[in-house]
Structures are given as C-alpha cells and as structure tokens.
Structure 1
C-alpha cells in the first residue's frame, strides 16, 4: 500500500482501535487519531486513549459528543443500566447512532487536517449484533459522507472480517501484541489490560487471545 498518504483513526483506546492504530501507522505516512467523549461508562477510556496516542507519537483529538449520551442512553453510558444481551434483542450496550455520528464527525475533522483516509475498528464477525458495525453500513456511509462534502474519503475497516483470535494475530504481525494486551482498555468494568475477566467484552477478548496463542504454539 502506498504510504504517502494521511489517515485519521477513530480511536477509543481499546483492543480493536489500538490494533487499527498500529495498522494505520504501518500503512500510512502520517496518522492522527480522534476520540469521542460521549459520557461513556468509564472516563478512563479517554485517559487510556490519550496515553497510547502520546506513547505512539500520534496527534490526538478529543471531541465532545455529550449530546449522544442524552439522546441514546445505554449500558455504555449509564452505570445504573445492566450489561445484558437477551436472545433476539440488541445488547444493552448498543448506542444508537454512535458509529453514524462518530464517522461523520471524523470525516469533518479529516477534511480540516487534510486526511482522506478514515480507519475504524468495526467488525461484522464479532459484532454482537450491532447494526452499525456491518460492512454494508460502512460502505453506505462512505458514499453518503463523500456526497455530503464532495470529497473522496476512503473508510478502512481492517478488522471487518476477523474474529478476536485473528485480531490478536494481526496485532502480533504488527509487533504490537504485548502492547495491546497490557495497555488497552476493553473491559466494560473499566479494568485496563486483561480486564475483569467476567464481562462480555473481556470474555470475548481473552478467549480470542487464548485461541491465538494456542494455535501459535502448535505451529512451533
């Protein structure tokens, strides 16, 4: 891939977006990151994102999206709401409109900083049923954003067809597995690194790592 381009990574400081940040740094000459403050369950997420961006030498933007908290309450924005996922229903952690708004505002920022490539860690393989993580949504939104600003943005989704095991494999190929394991915050209970080991995010993340490390050891 031609590296003489600039990318903006939608960045939360979690496993997926941090892996995408490393991916972007490997594929683009210049990379910046944007984090959205929307009243998420744990403010540590923003602090972790700031720390990682600083550590990797990436210019970091934090945008206020607190209105989303008012419009779309969920278990990710309300500590008094339980994290649950009933069969046939969207998880209580789904925030309606989140990726629609995040990608739209990221594109506005990207236009200002001269970036034409947007990178996001959405994934349809392990997406928990979130409709705004689907490939068809991202492709549709890419067209809409370009029409709205008469630009030629390209939205990259490096993890779209990867499960968590394969996401750890990608991090390893980017020489970032230990960094992602130790420094990121994916846990719904706000525990950095390997997390609480009990919430759905931790179970998915840690099982993926176990599967990948076991497969890697079998090859040795």
Structure 2
C-alpha cells in the first residue's frame, strides 16, 4: 500500500474515534438532563459508570495521533489536524466529565426534589449540546463559519447562566431548607457553562487547523 494511502487511512481512523467520543459525550449530556429532570438515580449511576469509555477513547485517540506523528512525520495541515484532534479529544472528554458531575448532583438532590428545574437550565443544556455537535462538525468539515457560530452561542449560554443563578438566589430567600438543592442546581449551571466554554475551545482549534494560527473566541 502506498505510504500516503496508509496515512489517509490512519488519519480517518483518528477522526472516526473522535466522532465516536463526540457521540458518546453527546449521549451522556442528554442522559444527564434526563436523569436530573426525572431524578432517576439509577440512570445517574449508569452515567457515572459509563464514563470510563470516554477516558479510553481519549487514550486511543492520543495513541493513534502519537503513532502518526512518529511514523509518518506529517507536515503542514496534516500535522495541525493531528495536533488539533489531540486537543479536541481532551476538550470533549472534559465535557463528558461535566455530564458525570450533573449525574452526581442528581444523586445529591435525591428522589424528592423541592425545586422545579428552571427552563433557563434546560435552555443552557440545549445550547451546549448544539455547540458540541456544531464544533465537531466544524472540525470535520474545516468550516470556520460554523466555528464562529459556536462562539456566538457561548455568549447566549453565559447570559442564561447569569439568569439561572439570579433566579436560584431568589428562591433561596427565606427557604433555608431548599439551600442544599439550590446549591446543587447552581453547580449544574456552572457545569453547563464550563462545558460550553470547552465547545468554544474546540472551535478555536478549528481556526488553528484551517488558518495555522490561534484565535481567542471567548473575548
């Protein structure tokens, strides 16, 4: 098999693994909100147990990438694509960790919640999912326009984060017994806000891939 053809096959394998990690993380985020909304403790525990798959996939991606760099000695955009894949895999794995954190908050809240889940939290969750999927699409398609849209959505998540915390603090007034649950929901807001930031980091790696320069999309 010609060297270039073998390289292309291995590069595709790297990208396929990244897609698999992205799909796993997308599903973990979906399940985390489902567990929180229904206070499904069993589902929350499953999310925590399944997280080892995200770690293993990231390790596989790193192993393939290191092998490609060592054996194929890629240059220019091929090298940037491999480096970007390593960085993006780390970002996606961190997002999967936030899904686990939401599951942990679900368990800490327990089966008899006193506070109804805020619509703003649901909106944050939807935006974060959209950002994850669009940022990965941007990477696979070398699409800077999609990367910019991810950064724009991050501004909306930040806005919703502020609204959610303000509303939760309002619920806390005179309701001391609700404080532990309000605290956990505040953590959930923070987890989603941070997950959105990691999606923006993925978008920044798309800029690096296409342009060969680093851009800060969080400013």
What is the TM-score normalised by the length of structure 1? 0.26
Larger radius of gyration: 2
More helix by share: 2
More strand by share: 1
Does 1 or 2 have the higher relative contact order (CA < 8 Å, sep 6+)?
A: 2
What is the TM-score normalised by the length of structure 2? 0.26
